[in-house]
Chains A and B, each alone.
Chain A
Amino acid sequence: GAVVSQHPSWVICKSGTSVKIECRSLDFQATTMFWYRQFPKQSLMLMATSNEGSKATYEQGVEKDKFLINHASLTLSTLTVTSAHPEDSSFYICSARGEGYGYTFGSGTRLTVV
């Protein structure tokens, strides 16, 4: 089955620093990957759609300059949280659609900004 690997699974960083999260499709090519943010007891909120070889499409209200997305290959997309602040602390999840059906999610990254 389709597998999406996401790293790191958790990270603690200081306020003002940047953090990069990687999302890899291990056994399929993902032209499109999605980045979500999830707050406690809330649903997944789509942040942006990442297209291989082109600029990401951001959802309304998501700061493009703060959440940098790069999709350099068919198997790798990265999300960089720049100049992180405590309010950026959240659970970030990527997903991609594999062959056949459904969307496969990564295991998520818990970001804590102190």
Chain B
Amino acid sequence: QKEVEQDPGPLSVPEGAIVSLNCTYSNSAFQYFMWYRQYSRKGPELLMYTYSSGNKEDGRFTAQVDKSSKYISLFIRDSQPSDSATYLCAMSAGSGGYQKVTFGTGTKLQVIP
């Protein structure tokens, strides 16, 4: 079993839809959770960063962490064609700069105009 599981998709939605992206994990030591967006042939770009359980909102993006279920989500409201990309969840046990980060495989999202 992988430490982080993420459905690779692809996920196709119409413009304006609410998108839900999810990851599950098995390592209970993970406390820091991140979502990255990666366009084709580019490096990942940090979207959201959360610590422990709870919700965090930033514009059209909302990140949720449920540590009891080992489940994290990213919601995108009013999705736009420019949101079409691969979304990677990532997590680490600590916040130190040396901490190893474990990534999901990424979910490819396509928003259709």
Q: Which residues of A are interface residues toward B (Cβ below 8 A)?
A: 4, 6, 30-32, 34, 41-44, 46, 49, 51, 91, 93, 95-97, 101-108, 110
Contacts and interface: CB of A to CB of B under 8 A. Distances in A.
Given A32-B97, A43-B88, 15 more contacts: A31-B97, A43-B6, A44-B88, A46-B100, A49-B100, A91-B41, A93-B43, A97-B97, A101-B95, A102-B34, A105-B36, A106-B43, A107-B43, A108-B42, A108-B43
Report the interface size class on chain B: 20 to 34
Nearest to B106: A43
Contacts of A97: 96-97, 99
A101 B51 CA distance: 10
Contacts of B100: 34, 46, 49
A79 B6 CA distance: 29
B18 interface: no
B105 A105 contact: no
B45 interface: yes
Contacts of A44: 44, 88, 103
A6 B106 CA distance: 22
B105 A43 contact: yes
B81 interface: no
